[in-house]
Each structure stands twice: as C-alpha cells, then as structure tokens.
Structure 1
C-alpha cells in the first residue's frame, strides 16, 4: 500500500514525537537475515519478549502494526489518527500507537510511532505482524543485500560511500519518511518517483505511456480491470517500454526494455525491486542518498 499522509489529533506532550533510538554497540554493524513474501523482504523483530516477523517497505511511509499484535504487546494509544492515501488516491485513517521497545537484531527503537491496521494472517508462510517504514531507522543507514539475504543497520558516519550515488528527496512528517528520486524515461523526460521496495514492478502514471513509446491500444499491452478492497475500480496496463529508463544521477543503472505497470496514480511513478534488486541497495537517511552497489 502506497501512502501519503496527514496526522490528526491533539495528543501533544514533551517527547511524544521523538523516537528513542539505541544501538547496543554504535561501532558494530547490526545484520539480520531476511526471507521473502513474494518480492518483499521479511525480518525478525522482537517486541515485549516475543518474536514477530515484519516486512520492510521503503515506500510505506509510516510503520504499520497488526491490530492483533498491537493488543498483544500493549501498545500505547496516542489518541491521534493518521490519514493516508493509497497510490490510487483513496484516503484511509488509522489510529496511532507507541510501541514498546522493538529490536531488530542489535538495533532497538523505543516508543516508535506506528499505525494500527488489520493486516490479516500474522503466522503462516506468508504472514507478517507489521511493516517497517524508513521512519523506523531514523538517521541511520540500511543496506539490503539480495545475495546474502541480509539487512544491515549501521550509523551513517561509519558507512563507506562506494557505488552509484543518487540524491534522495526525503519527504518527512511526524510519522513517516518517503524517499523520492529523479527517473529518466525513454523520451528523455525526467519525472519524480518513489523508491519503493514494497512494489515489484516499475509503476508509472498512465499519462506517461507515450513517453515510453507505448499507446494503450497497442497489441502488446496487457490490460486488466478490477476492484480493490476499498471498493475502488482500477485499470492497469502492462507493457515493455521501448528504450532505457534510469535514475538520473546514475545512468549506469539503466534498465533496457523494462516491463512497466501503468495505472492512474497520485505520483509520477514508483521504482520497485525489479529495478532496485539488480544491486545491493543502501539508503542513507542522514545524508539523503540512495547507493546502488553492483552485485558480484
């Protein structure tokens, strides 16, 4: 689910909006193994002595916790709600809570602010207890390594900056962080896209089809319609673009003949794991940069 959001409510006390971050050893890299639910990575998180599994999604904006788990760990309600918009534009409001200390390996965040939502199955092969957004990692650096299936958290000042570096526009509010960068289309047009590990495809707004050398009635375009869980009707087109797409600051990362999903959305587009996971991916939140490291 892609969200943009505003907060509503009146709960304001000293320290309420600050997330306490504690690295047990600030000079040691914290690394955890992940598995996958489709293209999404899933990591172990310990809360109140119990082990849960959370997805990591750079495009979610705000951390989300299952309503079942929020009750189990005695999360503290703030009295505020968070109004978010899906990428197709529908508004969704959810209550906000403060979580007890949540540990990802040796990295612990106390009183982290999260939305509560019904996420379905928590256990089972495809189950998860929540979704960690970039807000969970505060001013730190995270690296997703597809070859070792590991996620690393470390202080930004200890991170070597090798690889292709892409400036990020980090759009923040009190509860969320959303990373955007500039993407170049085959026509040469530059657009602003969200860096989104929650999506597999490169997703572009329908109006950009001609910029990729495609028309909706092309015989090689696959079109599907449907209705999502909010009752919103959607139309999606899948097509192979003619030419290269690439992040403007790193033309070396160009993807040729990318398979793209076109849909009416509130952003220009979203860059998903089909593009990103050709590399080892680092997001440096303190310096607002994405670093793509060539894989062996």
Structure 2
C-alpha cells in the first residue's frame, strides 16, 4: 500500500549551491532558507561544514546557520565530513549531521580521496563525537544504484554498508543515485530489501535526473514503501567529483506530480515555486525546473480575444458542431 504522507527534504542550499561556480551572498542564502522554512518541508539541508578550501562557495557555514530563523517542525541538517566539521557544526546547534561516503571504491577515492575503509573509520569518529545527544545522524551512501567508473553495485554490497552504519546507531540512511544511473525496477527491488531488513532506520531516497528517470524512480520507491525523498529546488545540483552527474530531482516537479496523485507532501507548492523563482537571479542561469517554466497543470490561460469575435461570426449551428 502506498504511504499517504510523504516527506520531502530540501537539499538545494547545500547540494545545489555547492555545484555553482560563483559564491552566493550569505544574506541571500539566509533569505532563501527562511523562505523554505515556511514551505512545509520535513527537513532542509542548509550547508556543509567541509573545509572552505575544498568547497569555497560554502565557506560561510557558521554565518548561515547563525542567521537563519528556525521554524517549528523543520529539521535543519548539514553535511559533516570529519571530526573537525562535526565540532564546527555542533557549535551551531544543528538538528542533524549528514555523513557521506560511497559504496563504490572507485567513486569514494575520486570524491573523498580515501578508501572506503578509511572513510568508515573517519565517520565512526564523527559518530562518537556527536554522541547520544539531541543531534541525529544520517548517512548518505553514494552510488548505490551504480558507479560511473565501476558500473553496477551488488545489492549485498549495499546491504553490507547499511548494516555497518546501522550497528553504529545512526538514525537514518539515504540511498543515493549519485549520477542518475538508477531505473525503476532496480529501485523498487533494492528498496524492498533494505526496508525489510532495516525497518528501524529512517530511509531516504536521493535521485538525480541525469537520464530523465528521477520521478519514475521516486514512484518505484513509493511502491516499495519509501516515504522520504531528498529533492532540490529548481533541480539544482550535481557532484563536482562524479563524471556526468546532473541536477537532483526537482522539488517542485516532484511535489506537483505527487500532489496530483493524491499524496500529502506537506508542501505549500505556491510558496515553493515563489522560492524557486529566486534561483535564476541567485545562480546567474536558468534552472531545470519544468513547473517553474510551464506552471502547474491547472494554471489556465485566458481565452484569446479573437476567439470571442470568431464566435460572433459563426452561425449557431456551426458553433454547436465545434462545441458538442
């Protein structure tokens, strides 16, 4: 049975902006996050506490966290790569730390410059630093549906890494389609296995629309019982160290489809679209969002004036033929 309540988690302020060439003013980021806080999201990924040298466009993490207005019912999460990042993040009163590694050895070495075992050891230290306090821990596992350098990843390999983090006591795991290699039947099969084996974990799916299958993949995940999805305002995103990666599944496109299908996303789509309309001015280019361009399904257009004059010219019997 499909879950009736779905939870969308906004990642544009971190995953979207980290892929942009130019630095976005901190005040503009604060204003955007504050606007997103009014949209009904379950969670907003605000920024990353990586080294400013590694991702200079996110060098204002502390100032951003200090400036935003926290909204009740919204979790404010951040990416934390290591112990130093965890210490910085904890000083900013975060709700959740999002840790990242890849299930692909090739991608992990390309993206994080270390082996998977080295990443796991480092993230174990992060979990210890965070401890059993109020801050939750989520682990995002990259390339679970395929690696652009290594190819397909065996389900057992994915399960092995989920199991290792589950034993550490993390609250949630995100299964990431980092470069858009997932397809619906694959998604449904993996999600069913992971849900069955790790029913206590908060499971999230993270799709990229590289090959145009992100929304179809989301529906496949829903069919398998998944109710949480990362999505990016305007479809922003990518991965600087993942060849061929394009934007994340677009928040407003996904929410529009799900709401038409009767799911409760909790989102005020009009507010989401108003926030998305800010993006071209912030990033300096158009964004992939389709709903931002075309409007919602029933955003109707006025009947052209010439149609009324044409009606007057046609005999009544002809009008009846044209309008049965």
TM-score range, shorter chain: under 0.3
Q: Which protein has the bigger helix share?
A: 2
TM, length-normalised to structure 2:
0.24
Bigger fraction of residues in strand:
1
